Amino acid sequence: MLSGKTVIVGVTGGIAAYKSVSLVGELKKQGANVHVVMTENAAEFVTPLTFEVRSGNRCIKDMFERNFEYDVKHISLAKAADLIIVAPATANFIAKAAHGIADDMLSTLVLAAKCPKLVAPAMNTAMYENPATQANIKRIKEYGFKVIEPVKGLLACGDEGKGKMPEPDELLQHVLLEIAHEKDMKGLSVLVTAGATQEPIDPVRYITNHSSGKMGFAIAHAAALRGAAVTLISGSAALATPLGVHRIDIRTAAEMHRETTTAAPDADILIKAAAVADFTPVATSDSKIKKKDEVSMSLPLKPTKDILKEIGLNKKEGQIICGFAMETEDLIENAKKKLQAKNLDMICANSLRDEGAGFAGDTNIVTLITKDSVRELGCLSKLDTAHRILDAALDLRKAFEK
Ligand code: CTP
Q: What is the mean pLDDT of residues 246-261?
A: 98
Is residue 291 over pLDDT 50? yes
Ligand 1 geometric centre to CA of 272 (Å) = 9
Residue at 44 is within a domain: yes
Structural domain for 391, as ranges: 189-401
Closest to 245 measured CA to CA, from 259, 230, 234, 235: 230
Q: Which residue has the higher pLDDT, 290 or 320?
A: 320
When divided into structural domains, the chain yields a total of 2
Domain CATH code at residue 136 = 3.40.50.1950
In angstroms, the CA 68 to CA 153 distance is 41
Tell whether pTM > 0.85: yes
Is residue 171 over pLDDT 50? yes
The backbone region for 72, taken as left when phi is positive above 0, alpha when psi lies in -120 to 50, beta otherwise, is beta
Q: How far apart are the first and last CA of the chain?
A: 32
Domain final residue, candidates 159, 179, 199: 179
Tell me: do 309 and 391 sit in the same domain. Answer: yes
Tell me: do 156 and 297 sit in the same domain. Answer: no
Ligand 1 geometric centre to CA of 83 (Å) = 42
Annotation says 157 is catalytic: yes
Looking at residue 148, its pLDDT comes to 98
- Catalytic hit among 115, 157, 322, 348: 157
In angstroms, the CA 32 to CA 135 distance is 33
Residue at 1 is within a domain: no
In angstroms, the CA 317 to CA 229 distance is 19
Nearest protein Cα to ligand 1, atom 4 = 306
Tell me: do 83 and 167 sit in the same domain. Answer: yes
Ligand 1 geometric centre to CA of 333 (Å) = 15
Is residue 2 over pLDDT 90? yes
Reported as a single tens digit per residue, the pLDDT across 42-97 is 999 999 999 999 999 999 987 666 544 546 667 889 999 999 999 999 999 999 99
Q: What is the mean pLDDT of residues 114-130?
A: 97
Contact 323 CB / ligand 1 (< 6 Å):
yes
